[in-house]
Amino acid sequence: GRMSRKRQKDILNQIKEHTTLPRQKVRIGRTPIIENAWKVFECVRSQRHRVEPVLEVEYYNESGSGLGPTLEFYALVAQAFKDSTSPRLFLEPPNGLLFPQAYHVDFQKVAPTLLAKPKKDTRANGPAGSAFASRSGLLRAGRAHNSSEWTAPERDERHPLERTFESKLYKHFKLLGMLVAKSLTDQRLMDLRLHPVFWRLVLSDAAREVDVKRQRPGGGGHFPILCPFTDEPNKDEEEDEKKGMEARVTLSYEADIMQVSPSFYNQLQKMKEMKAQGFDLEQLCVIFTVPGPEPLYELRDGGRDMVVTRDTLDEYLQLVGRAMLYSGIALQVHAFREGFELFLPLEALLSFQPVELATQLIAGGDAADNQYWTLDHLKTYIKPAHGYQRDSAPFRYLLEVLSELSPKERRLFCQFATGAPALPLEGFGALKPLLTVVVKETPSPQSPDRNLPSVMTCTNYLKLPRFTSKDVMRERLLVAINEGQGSFLLS
């Protein structure tokens, strides 16, 4: 059944017990952020540590360090994944939930260097992994492993196939898996809500894995093809049984398409209605391809020149469903798994429902969740200090303004104040340390109303001028959270 909030909190608190882990600092440029993130994780995996260190990120030409820049690193990479157009990684997200765009790919064009794995199982490495897995009772004892046996490929081992579309797609999703796992072990929020259907495919044994051996000159590998049904019915089955199975398969596909792409699902239903009413479908000019960008995914040979008709609609529905939900995303799902398990075993997530992984555990609280933006919650978990008391007018103005922010403004405030665009699952009460509001002195004779709030994200300090009214507080705070993004100039 669904895991209780208390159980979630207990597991997360177990992870937090490893706060004495060593820290590994890396310094990067802000652009290109995805390529720089890949280099960061190559560095992390190539270092030999007795236990897996907590990652801390700093930026070139910026003096900020600690939690804030690190949280922003995860936020920046997450946004880059969502914005990526070369390749486009996800469908247009329903309710912000991301599901991979399907592509017809040649598995043999994935560079062998991207498939490099540790010599032995490094999953659940050190206390980070054991805190998430073993102490939660989710894994057998003894799964922790010394990371010193990991060998990263050197620069001169880069393979020419790394320039192919398939390698680029694989690399993006392997990096995504590493980021998600590392964010969990390090207790960092990552503003990326992967669709529950995607998590179901990543985790579920119901998706039958067929190992397809792909031999290459100088290297090999295998990929699981995700498909809960056989590609071809048994030839000995009766014709009516074949049709019944195909109908069930199509209904299963359509149910998932309704979740991952409601707009496309509505188009399919409209086509079925038109067929039932006797209309010709040729006028719609729908061709045998998966909707999406180049490279065009043809469902049949010559599919881009083949229009769907009343006679071929059922075949189209089955083929497009299989492509969108299984065969067209097999590479992405496999790459995500491979990246994730470099830091954490997927078994550690089996106690969570896919919807919990999609909406809570990784991305934190929803900005539309009002329970963490009530005056009572804010008064309880935001502390005044160093010049402010709970009855100080500017402090009261702040809490009132925060309680009235829109979901979009809440995300901006969280990004400004903490480095992450979302709150942890328990709201402001889960920030460590708690958000503290202190006086920001204004040089005389300047008016404090001309000043702006500033932050120290490493300690969750909000420096607030002594604004003279609630209206001024709102105006100055909105300016700060909209314009004060994208750099850490003071530590």
SS3 assignment for the chain: CCCCHHHHHHHHHHHHCCCCCCEEEEEECCCCHHHHHHHHHHHHHHCCCCCCCEEEEEECCCCCCCHHHHHHHHHHHHHHHHHCECCECECCCHHHCECECCCCCCHHHCCHHHHCCCCCCCCCCHHHHHHHCHHHCCCCCCCCCCHHHCCCCCHHHCCHHHHCHHHHHHHHHHHHHHHHHHHHHCCCCCCCCECHHHHHHHHCCCCCEEEEEEEECCEEEEEEEECCCCCCCCCCCCHHHHHHHHHHHHHHHHHHHHHHCHHHHHHHHHHHHHHHCCCCCHHHCCECEECCCCCCEECCCCHHHCECCCCCHHHHHHHHHHHHHCHHHHHHHHHHHHHHCCCCCHHHHCCCCHHHHHHHHCCCCCCCCHHHCCHHHHHHHCEECCCCCCCCHHHHHHHHHHHCCCHHHHHHHHHHHHCCCCCCCCHHHHCCCCCEEEECCCCCCCCHHHCCCEEECCCCEEEECCCCCHHHHHHHHHHHHHHCCCCCCCC
Per-residue model confidence (pLDDT) at position 443: 85
pLDDT band at 129 (very low <50, low <70, confident <90, very high): very low
CB under 8 Å to 449, separation ≥6 — which residues?
465, 467, 468, 472, 476
The whole-number average pLDDT for the span 14-26 is: 66
Asked if the model's pLDDT at residue 228 lies above 70, the reply is: no
| DSSP β-bridge partners for residue 436 | 383, 461
- Kindly state the tokens that stand for 292: 């999406």
Asked if the model's pLDDT at residue 356 lies above 60, the reply is: yes
pLDDT band at 417 (very low <50, low <70, confident <90, very high): very high
Per-residue model confidence (pLDDT) at position 351: 86
Asked if the model's pLDDT at residue 270 lies above 90, the reply is: yes
- Kindly state the tokens that stand for 39: 């280099």
Q: Is pLDDT larger for residue 262 or for residue 115?
A: 262
Q: Give the Cα separation of 182 and 343 in Å (integer).
A: 6
The whole-number average pLDDT for the span 261-272 is: 95
Least confident of 209-213, 271-275, 338-342, 414-418: 209-213
Per-residue model confidence (pLDDT) at position 220: 44
- Kindly state the tokens that stand for 161: 């196939």
The whole-number average pLDDT for the span 304-322 is: 95
Describe the crossing of helices 470-483 and 407-418 by its angle, rounded to 10 degrees. Answer: 70
Asked if the model's pLDDT at residue 483 lies above 80, the reply is: yes
Known active-site residue 227: no
Residue 218 burial (C-beta neighbours within 10 Å; 0-12, 13-18, 19+) = exposed
Provide the mean pLDDT of the chain.
80
Q: Give the Cα separation of 197 and 331 in Å (integer).
A: 16
pLDDT band at 139 (very low <50, low <70, confident <90, very high): very low
Q: Are 209 and 126 in contact (CB under 8 A)?
A: no
Of the candidates 43, 227, 285, 458, the residue annotated as catalytic is 458
pLDDT band at 334 (very low <50, low <70, confident <90, very high): very high
Least confident of 256-260, 280-284, 419-423: 419-423
User: What count of other Cβ atoms lies within 10 Å of the Cβ of residue 18?
Assistant: 21
- The string of pLDDT tens digits covering residues 37-63 is 999 998 887 776 667 788 999 888 887
Instruction: State the pairing for strand pair 461-464/436-439.
Output: parallel
Asked if the model's pLDDT at residue 433 lies above 50, the reply is: yes
Per-residue model confidence (pLDDT) at position 368: 77
Asked if the model's pLDDT at residue 319 lies above 90, the reply is: yes
pLDDT band at 250 (very low <50, low <70, confident <90, very high): low
Q: Are 297 and 327 in contact (CB under 8 A)?
A: no
Asked if the model's pLDDT at residue 143 lies above 50, the reply is: no
- Kindly state the tokens that stand for 345: 């075993």
Asked if the model's pLDDT at residue 460 lies above 80, the reply is: yes
Per-residue model confidence (pLDDT) at position 62: 82
Per-residue model confidence (pLDDT) at position 7: 65
Asked if the model's pLDDT at residue 385 lies above 70, the reply is: yes
pLDDT band at 453 (very low <50, low <70, confident <90, very high): very high
The whole-number average pLDDT for the span 149-160 is: 47
The whole-number average pLDDT for the span 313-334 is: 94
Asked if the model's pLDDT at residue 347 lies above 80, the reply is: yes
The whole-number average pLDDT for the span 298-309 is: 95
The whole-number average pLDDT for the span 187-216 is: 69
- Kindly state the tokens that stand for 423: 């709150």
Handedness of CA 445, 447, 453, 459 (dihedral sign): positive
For 404: left if phi > 0, alpha if psi spans -120 to 50, otherwise beta; the answer is alpha
Q: Is pLDDT larger for residue 397 or for residue 241?
A: 397
Q: Is pLDDT larger for residue 208 or for residue 96?
A: 96
pLDDT > 70 fraction of the chain, expressed in percent and rounded? 75
Asked if the model's pLDDT at residue 73 lies above 50, the reply is: yes
Q: Give the Cα separation of 183 and 191 in Å (integer).
A: 10
* Structural domains in the chain plus CATH codes: 5-227+329-361 (3.90.1750.10), 239-322 (3.30.2160.10), 370-483 (3.30.2410.10)
Q: Is pLDDT larger for residue 83 or for residue 211?
A: 83
pLDDT band at 13 (very low <50, low <70, confident <90, very high): low
> Is the whole model's pTM more than 0.85, yes or no?
no
Residue 352 burial (C-beta neighbours within 10 Å; 0-12, 13-18, 19+) = buried
